[in-house]
Each structure stands twice: as C-alpha cells, then as structure tokens.
A and B are shown apart, each in its own frame.
Chain A
Amino acid sequence: MKSYAAYRVKSELNALAPFTESVTELFGNWHLPAQARTDLFLCFDELLSNVIKYGTPLGVKPEMFVQLAFDGTAVKIDIIDEGPEFDPFSKPDPDLAAYRDELRVGGVGVYIVKQVMDDVSYYRYENRNIVSLLKKIS
C-alpha cells in the first residue's frame, strides 16, 4: 500500500522547524529506520536551504512544495520551487582531498545528498525546478 504526503513550505529558514516537526511525525507513522530518517533530513537541510538561498523572483510566491511517497520499500521525494533554473546536481563531485588541503569552507552539501540517497535527479518543467530523490528502505 502506498502512502503520500505533501507540504507547502514558505521559502524562509523559520519555516523549516515546523516542517521538520511534521515530517518527523510522518516518518514515525511510516516506521522508517533511524538511519533512513537521518539521511532524508540531511537532504531536506541541504536542498531546502539551497532553494531559500537562491531566492525567488519578483512576482512569485516564495514557497516550496515537498511531496513524499512511501510504498514499503522506498521513499520518493520531490522538492519543487518556482525559482530561477538551478540544477543542484550539475556540478562535478568536489575534490575532497583538495578541499582538505585548502581547508575550504562549504561545497559538500549536495555531495552528501548524492552519497546518502539511492537515486537523485533534476528536471525543469515549465517554470519549476523539480528535484527528485529516492531512498530505498531495507
């Protein structure tokens, strides 16, 4: 049996706390393992903060849509916003050894997402950015 949930989240940091609270309850209802929950919250922290950071054009309501589906074997998530076209997965993976040598600050958030998810994808549809994530539940 499939379960679905969808959230409309204001595009501002203050909105992430109530969203996190709601999704924590949802993941509890879905009985997701602890590590899977942590991995999914990592993705929200990295990707929703990116949407907030990259802003919203004038005339567009600053909000994001997060859709979640669970079929007992995998969680599928779509994060949708109407901001400027931005593919978070377009950059090559960071050179972690060079980052360490330079003590470089930042630049690893999307890399973490790619490592903890089983599949990630991006597409632009009409005026929307759609980031899709898949996390298998063993």
Chain B
Amino acid sequence: MTISQEVKGAFAVIAFDGRLDIMQYDASETAVNTLLESSGVAKLLFDCEKLSFVSSAGLRLFMITLKKLSARGGVLAISGMNPAVRKIFDITGYDKLFKIFDTRDAAESFLAG
C-alpha cells in the first residue's frame, strides 16, 4: 500500500494505491491521522482509483475518519472506487454514509465549492 497526500486549501486528498486490509491498517490509520492533525482540515477526499481491495479493516478506517471529520463539522468524500471495492460499501450500507463520486475531479469540485 502506498499512500500519497496533498492539502489543497480548505480540503485535503489522500490517495490509496494497493490493498487496504488488516495488514495495512495500522500504517494507513497513522498516515490519515497525521494529515488530519497537521492540516486541521474538516473536508477530506479519499481517492480510491488505485485501491484494489478493501476489507472490514479498511471500512474501519473510513468510519473512524468520518467520525473525526463529523466532529469538526466536516465531510469525507470518496472517488474512483472500482466495482470490487464498491461492492463492500454496498453490502454493508456504507455507501449511504459518504459523498461518493466517480472521479477525483468531480469530488474536488464538490469539496472546493
């Protein structure tokens, strides 16, 4: 798993590349927390275009991050999920919790607006 991050004014973007499973959980949570603390943003985008696999460990990271952002009055957007990843969100109803976009551009426009 490679995680890249970028702060773009009022929001930040975290891009996942690889598998977000139980083995990658701790490192991924640390990366997200570090960005949230250092940037102070309330609006965040998880760019999942290169996220190949997500298990409930990955969902845990999404939910914990949503809770933190909600406490700041913020929002967590997700873009670019492949069908296998999207299936896990649909099965668990997590698709109803997040602002989901097909493309990173669409998500960034929403967050910048």
CB of A49 within 8 A of CB of B64, answer no
Q: How many residues of B contact A (CB 8 A)?
A: 22
Question: Is B70 close to A, CB under 8 A?
Answer: yes
CB of A46 within 8 A of CB of B91, answer no
With both chains docked as a complex, state the minimum distance between the C-beta of B74 and any C-beta of chain A, in angstroms. 13
Chain B interface helix/strand/loop/mixed: helix
With both chains docked as a complex, state the minimum distance between the C-beta of A40 and any C-beta of chain B, in angstroms. 11
Interface positions of B from 58 to 104, Cβ below 8 Å from A: 59-60, 63-64, 66-67, 70, 84, 88, 91-94, 96-97
For the complex, give the distance between the alpha carbons of A61 and B53 in Å: 31
Partner of A49, one of B22, B53, B91: B22
CB of A45 within 8 A of CB of B21, answer yes
For the complex, give the distance between the alpha carbons of A42 and B70 in Å: 28
| Known contacts A103-B63, A105-B64; A112 and B96 CB within 8 A of each other | no
- Contact flags (1/0) for B30-50 with A, using CB distance below 8 Å? 000000000000000000000
CB of B63 within 8 A of CB of A105, answer yes
For B55, B59, B67, B84, the residue with the greatest tally of chain A CB atoms inside 10 Å of its CB is B55
CB of B22 within 8 A of CB of A13, answer yes
With both chains docked as a complex, state the minimum distance between the C-beta of A116 and any C-beta of chain B, in angstroms. 7
Interface positions of A from 79 to 115, Cβ below 8 Å from B: 96-97, 99-100, 103-106, 108-109, 111-112, 115
Question: Is B56 close to A, CB under 8 A?
Answer: yes
CB of B60 within 8 A of CB of A106, answer yes
Contacts of A34 in B (CB 8 A): 84
| Known contacts A13-B22, A17-B23, A116-B91; A109 and B66 CB within 8 A of each other | no
